[in-house]
Structure 1
Amino acid sequence: MSGIILHHYATSPFSEKVRIAFGIKKLAWQSVDIPPVMPKPDLMPLTGGYRKTPVLQIGADIFCDTQLILRELERRHPTPTFYPGLARGLAEGVAFWADHQLFGAAVAIAFGAFGDKLPDAFLEDRSKFSGRNIDRARLKQQAAVMQGPLRAHLGWIEDALADNRAFLFGDAPSLADLAVYHCVWFVRERARSDALADYAGLNAWADRMKAFGHGERSDLDAKAAVAAARAAQPAPVRGTVMPNALGLTAGAMVSVTPDDTGRDPTVGELVALDAQSVTIRRSAPEVGEVHVHFPRAGFILVPAKA
């Protein structure tokens, strides 16, 4: 089995970013439903500790973070591109802003809307995930505080769309559209908030993004995805380990950790490193040998502690 497998859950905004990407490229993919909170017993053998959602699997290659997931989809399925016209480079920067600054504001609005309904186990998990206490009593207050920043951020998008362009960089959707959309989706579709109801251009654009759908989805059992990794071999590595300030070379044991939330390290043998990505080799009895791929931006790469 060498098809596209996405480990995700329905209400995950970053997963919606990838699902809409499947729709834009009209891709067939297999869906593995994972728990929104720890433990994630079938995912951890694949990632080696990385717990964020979603994770993309193709055979024995595991891709972490939507930044890298979308780059890999573009490499394998370049048409239609996520980088039309002027979008290349600039779209990556817009996406990084959206995934961090804009997303933080969107989460505050969403949690303020439905925080009272969240199970205690979810709030406890997200407190550990974020490294700060999430107090249900303060969620609505925080939402009120962050509504201004959210509107400020998305006001820039409203202004960009004021010339009646269909998407942020013109007539076709780009990586930037995907990154902004998943934040808007979390507020509009998940939280059912009217915080942005008066942004006519933004809402019309969001309707266009939603219309792409999710591609051709079929469900897959988590155990079958684990078995698929065990039956496969990682694809040949592209590139080598580039010179780096840490003096790391191929074969070195390294640790890769997100620099914001979910700071659970993945440890393995360094096999490839360039300006945009790092690949490590690791193994577990459940999955055999896998290559786990991370982006460089947003992640800390250091030698593993002995």
Structure 2
Amino acid sequence: MRRIGGLVALCRAVEGIAISSTAGNVVCNRMLQTALYGTTSAYSRRHHWFTNSNKLVEQPAAHTVAGTMLFSVAASAVSEDVHAKEPVQPKLRPNDVVLYQYEACPFCNKVKAFLDYYDIPYKVVEVNPISKKEIKWSGYKKVPILMVDGEQMIDSSEIIDELSRRVGSRAQGDNLSDEAGEENKWRGWVDNHLVHVLSPNIYRSGSEALESFDYITSHGNFSFTERIIARYAGAAAMYFVSKKLKKRHNITDERAALYDAAETWVDALKGRDFLGGSKPNLADLAVFGVLRPIRHLQSGKDMVEHTRIGEWYSRMEDAVGASCRLETQGA
């Protein structure tokens, strides 16, 4: 009963939806949190999502997870100097960085995109979304939580702001510049709009919902029993919850909303390689981070096929480069 009761908190974090705490609804609630706000694991081999012609590149069967949801793929080293990583000066680089995450979380992926781009090594602790035993030491019960040299940081955008100040990726006074104003505008757009378009798309149909939970349960930190319950009950719950999310965010056509968001971002680039110009800024990293989890889902494939976002995403893969993840803890 404790396991079933715990599963519903997974639903509760999604979009702040309030679902009653009866036994039947509890299974739904915790599932939402893992499904939408979990994190992704890193892989050592790079997979290209896009080609220059904006068409999807077929992945080898051995590296394609049928029915996957939200996972980040570590990119390989970069060949073009203009898209190189931005390594932090050794004296400014933290000594010990640990990320507490869920496997499919777009917000956790935002943090990892920053760490990867700035070449900051980090460890990962995968949190069990039912018991959350890995973060019982913290008064904060959501992810991401980032421990930097023993200090706790919470909230993805605040984490990135603080890291930016510490590692010198943004000079003092930049927040007064036009460029920083544009950057902050689009970072807000990511948190307040883009992320809300994702869940109605990845759970649009029963098959897409099951596709998503196939990946979550395969890569998340679940016990065997939790995995079985989560896969089927979670997919069913999220299918119906996604319909509520559509209404809440005034979405009539899920795919049209996703395509519109992708085109809006490409328009914001104004012909530049990145919003930051010749190199990504924090807004580029934020968009890349939240989109990276859907890269191999049907919604992500459809987005690439029907919008112009593919070439930008491919440049971002090159720019972010290889993952700086060191190891996984807390299986």
Short-chain TM bin: 0.5 to 0.7
Q: Deviations over 1:209-259 (max 9, x none)?
A: 122135422125349xxxxxxxxxxxxxxxxxxxxxxxxxxxxxxxxxxxx
CA contact (8 A) 1:107 1:186 kept: no
Q: 1:125 to 1:194 in 2, by over 3 A?
A: closer
Asked if residue 149 in structure 1 is aligned to residue 257 in structure 2, the reply is yes
Q: 1:209 to 1:199 in 2, by over 3 A?
A: farther
Asked if residue 19 in structure 1 is aligned to residue 112 in structure 2, the reply is yes
Answer 1 or 2: which has greater strand percent.
1
Q: 1:79 to 1:31 in 2, by over 3 A?
A: same
Aligned to 1:208: 315
Aligned to 2:269: 161
> How far 1:161 moved relative to its partner?
3.5
Structure 2 unaligned blocks of 5 or more: 1-93, 214-227
Query: CA–CA distance in 2 between the matches of 1:144 and 1:183?
Result: 22
Aligned to 2:209: 115
Residue type of the alignment partner of 2:104: T
Residue type of the alignment partner of 1:202: I
> How far 1:5 moved relative to its partner?
1.0
Greater RCO (Cα-Cα under 8 Å, separation 6 or more): 2
CA contact (8 A) 1:29 1:215 kept: no
Asked if residue 136 in structure 1 is aligned to residue 239 in structure 2, the reply is yes
Query: CA–CA distance in 2 between the matches of 1:214 and 1:167?
Result: 19
Q: Deviations over 1:145-171 (max 9, x none)?
A: 2222222222211223352x1101311
> How far 1:135 moved relative to its partner?
4.9
Q: 1:135 to 1:184 in 2, by over 3 A?
A: closer
Asked if residue 97 in structure 1 is aligned to residue 189 in structure 2, the reply is yes
The alignment covers a number of residue pairs equal to 212
Residue type of the alignment partner of 2:110: K
> How far 1:67 moved relative to its partner?
0.5
Q: What is the percentage of aligned positions where both structures have the same residue?
A: 21
Query: CA–CA distance in 2 between the matches of 1:161 and 1:59?
Result: 36
Query: CA–CA distance in 1 between the matches of 2:269 and 2:184?
Result: 19
Query: CA–CA distance in 2 between the matches of 1:150 and 1:19?
Result: 23
Aligned to 1:76: 166
Aligned to 1:50: 141
Query: CA–CA distance in 1 between the matches of 2:189 and 2:267?
Result: 17
CA contact (8 A) 1:109 1:147 kept: yes
> How far 1:105 moved relative to its partner?
0.5
Query: CA–CA distance in 2 between the matches of 1:105 and 1:182?
Result: 14
Query: CA–CA distance in 2 between the matches of 1:90 and 1:183?
Result: 19
Q: 1:80 to 1:139 in 2, by over 3 A?
A: same
Structure 1 unaligned blocks of 5 or more: 127-132, 224-306
Residue type of the alignment partner of 1:205: W
> How far 1:42 moved relative to its partner?
1.8
> How far 1:182 moved relative to its partner?
2.5
Q: 1:5 aligns with which of 85, 88, 98?
A: 98
Q: 1:120 to 1:108 in 2, by over 3 A?
A: farther
Q: 1:33 to 1:7 in 2, by over 3 A?
A: same
CA contact (8 A) 2:112 2:289 kept: no
Query: CA–CA distance in 2 between the matches of 1:72 and 1:214?
Result: 23
Residue type of the alignment partner of 1:136: Y
CA contact (8 A) 2:266 2:308 kept: yes
Query: CA–CA distance in 1 between the matches of 2:263 and 2:241?
Result: 26
Asked if residue 106 in structure 1 is aligned to residue 209 in structure 2, the reply is no
SS at match of 2:304: coil
Query: CA–CA distance in 2 between the matches of 1:219 and 1:103?
Result: 27
Answer 1 or 2: which has greater helix percent.
2
CA contact (8 A) 1:11 1:190 kept: no
> How far 1:197 moved relative to its partner?
2.3
CA RMSD of aligned residues (A): 3.4
CA contact (8 A) 1:6 1:31 kept: yes
> How far 1:122 moved relative to its partner?
6.8
TM-score, normalised on structure 1?
0.59
SS at match of 1:195: helix
